Amino acid sequence: MAVGIFDSGLGGLTVLDAVQKRLPDVPLVYFGDNAHAPYGVRDADDVYNLTTASVERMWEAGCDLVILACNTASAAALRRMQESWIPRDKRVLGVFVPLIEALTERKWGDNSPPREVAVKHVALFATPATVASRAFQRELAFRAIGVDVEAQACGGVVDAIEDGDMILADALVRSHVDALRRKMPAPAAAILGCTHYPLMQDVFQEALGEDVTVYSQANLVAESLADYLERHPTMVGTGTENMFLTTGDPRKVSSRATQFLRRRIEFQSA
């Protein structure tokens, strides 16, 4: 049994890399639904059906705890999954919680009324589906007041990253930052609301300027998982081997993943 990390494609490898550095002794199963990527242009029902099918496959692989390292799945499917689908002996966690904890400087279990926080103007860069769901704004509103969130749907960025076209990805990021700045000229913080985007974090930071604090999910999720497993040690299980599964072409996905992480990654068919 291992901890599962799910993404529609390769972006979740940024989370896997951070988790492996933070928790080197925890066995991991990574599942990329590459055959159906990207999720960011799909409707909520489609995302839900694809996500639940993928999570079931991860349960079969021995993962009682699965991290949805996919903002679109976290935004469009997780709440529905938690309300009516996940068995009592399983856990599925999303990637919004660590971000909002960092932004509001309060733990998720703190159920006190919403209060003002230091950051007032936040730029959210995410996929079209994540932006349309307004899930980030909804969860933030439970914990903070007086925060102006301006969302920018970053169409094309995930596709460019998945295709390995980083020149196009660079140009698209700069274009989306320009579009955001026309709506919010001076954000104090920026949320990279897609686990692909840490691969372009330097470009986001350069385009936004040094005075903007950029929150990237990978390290935040890794720290949050470490805290969760300290409180729920039985969710780790007794597995010892890492596993990489994909619904896509294993050779192609392995090649791209190896380029991403700069170390050999071998995927097998899910």
Using CA of residue 19, residue 77, residue 64, residue 6, what is the dihedral sign?
negative
Residue 243 C-beta-side C-alpha neighbours within 13 Å: 22
Specify whether the CB–CB gap between 41 and 156 falls below 8 A: no
Which residues fall within 8 angstroms of residue 62, CB to CB, at 6 or more apart? 1, 2, 29, 237, 239
C-alpha 131/C-alpha 129 separation (Å) is: 5
The residue from 194, 214, 245, 253 that is catalytic is 194
The residue from 5, 70, 212, 220 that is catalytic is 70
Q: Is 22 exposed, middle or buried (0-12, 13-18, 19+ CB in 10 A)?
A: middle
Four-CA torsion 11, 46, 165, 14, nearest 10 degrees: 0
**Catalytic residue check, 70:** yes
Q: Is 125 helix (H, G, I), strand (E, B) or coil?
A: strand
C-alpha 171/C-alpha 182 separation (Å) is: 17
76 residue type, one letter = A
**Catalytic residue check, 194:** yes
User: What residues are annotated to the active site?
Assistant: 70, 194
